[in-house]
Amino acid sequence: MNVVKSERKLTRKQQSLVEHLVANGGTIKDAAHAVGYAEGESGRVSASKALALPHVQAYMVEKIREQLGVRATLALSTVTKLASTAKSEYVQLEASKDLLDRAGFKAPDKHMHLHAGDIRVDIDLG
C-alpha cells in the first residue's frame, strides 16, 4: 500500500496526538487529554475528527510502519531464540515453522479431496 503524501500540513497538536497514540496506545480520550485537547467529551470528539482526516491518517500509517520496522528485529530475535533454546519441543517446533514460513519455505497445505459421484448397488436375489 502506497501512502500518498497530502498537501495539507499537520498541526502540532495532530502530530502529537498521533505520536502519543502510536507510542503509548490507550484511548483517544486519554491521548487527547495528554496532548492538550479540551477536557472531557469535546476533546475526544475533536481528536476523533482530527484522526479521521486523510493527511492525519497517512501520518499515523507512516509512524506505525516505523515502529513495526524497529520492533520487527526484536521479534525476529525472540523467535530465533525460541527455536533454539525453548525448553518445550513444541515451542521450538512452532518457532522453527514460523521462521521457515516467513523465509518462504512454508509446508504445502493439506487438503481433503472429496469426489462426488453416483453410487449404484445392484442386489441379485434371484
Entry pTM:
0.61
Per-residue pLDDT at 5: 52
- Collapsing DSSP to helix, strand or coil, 118 comes out as coil
Per-residue pLDDT in tens (0 to 9) along the chain, 126 residues = 555 554 689 999 999 999 999 999 999 999 999 999 888 788 899 999 999 999 999 999 999 999 998 889 999 999 999 999 999 999 999 999 999 998 888 877 777 777 777 777 788 887
* CA dist., res. 97 & res. 99, Å (int): 5
Cα–Cα distance between 112 and 92 in angstroms, integer? 28
Boundaries of every domain in the chain: 12-102
Q: What proportions of the chain, in percent to the nearest 5, are helix, strand and coil?
A: 65, 0, 35
